[in-house]
Amino acid sequence: VSLAVTPYGQAAGEIEPFQKTIPPGRAETVGIDSDQRIPPEGFHDATITSDVPMAAARVLVSVAKRGDSKASGTQLRPQPATGISISPGLPLAADRWWAGGLDLSGDDEGWLLVSNPSPAAATSVKVLIHGDGERTVAKGLDDLKIEAGAQVAINLRTLKLPKLSLVELRSSTPVQVEQRVVDAAAGDYSSGPAVPDASTVVPVADVMAAGG
């Protein structure tokens, strides 16, 4: 397998991929936390490819308070000093996604991490908020462009969401979406895929192979 890690805001391929040979019927762990090539700040996109079908999952473990720097900008890793999140790999893309039951208060953090897997085509993203019996377009997110192969982190706190609201994301081409929520009081976080609209789902491999 090949594991390519790309910090948000950087072009893919700037960090040499990790290579791992896995025997039949075996499972292996690839640790990247101590690799000096990968900056500790900011969000990261990881793409795993292999010459045979395989299953992949991601484990995030936070063991110390983050050290923000100018390199991290507004795209930060979770604040808590301790926490763990396990989520599956995401082999699909879609042009409509949902993140639900969001309730951010105090110092809580919430993010939508949007990745455009196409190597050739830019996509246009719109974010809608469902809450208090209304549906509104998020201010400034009615035509957000994400270039080919790029990623964008949307800070949900800036949207001033109603309590227990739903966030809907629509795009002009298939994208991948994760949601990350940090509970500041508990010092813990949750990270995993948002929910795609089944009628719009396509294999991400097809998007990458088609070049758009």
Q: What is the pLDDT of residue 26?
A: 93
Q: What local confidence, expressed as pLDDT, does residue 74 receive?
A: 52
Position 102 scores a pLDDT of 79
Residue whose structure tokens are 């190597």: 119
Averages of pLDDT over runs of 10 residues in the chain (212 residues) are 88 86 91 81 86 90 64 51 84 95 83 94 96 92 94 90 92 96 82 94 90 56
Task: Specify the long-range contacts of residues 60-66, CB closer than 8 Å, at least 24 apart.
Answer: 60/84, 60/85, 60/86, 60/191, 61/33, 62/189, 66/40, 66/41
d(CA 151, CA 174): 13
Quote the CA–CA distance of 180 and 114 in Å, as a whole number.
Answer: 11
The residue whose two tokens read 């010459």 is 51
- Give me the pLDDT at residue 72, please: 44
Separation of alpha carbons 82 and 84, rounded Å: 7
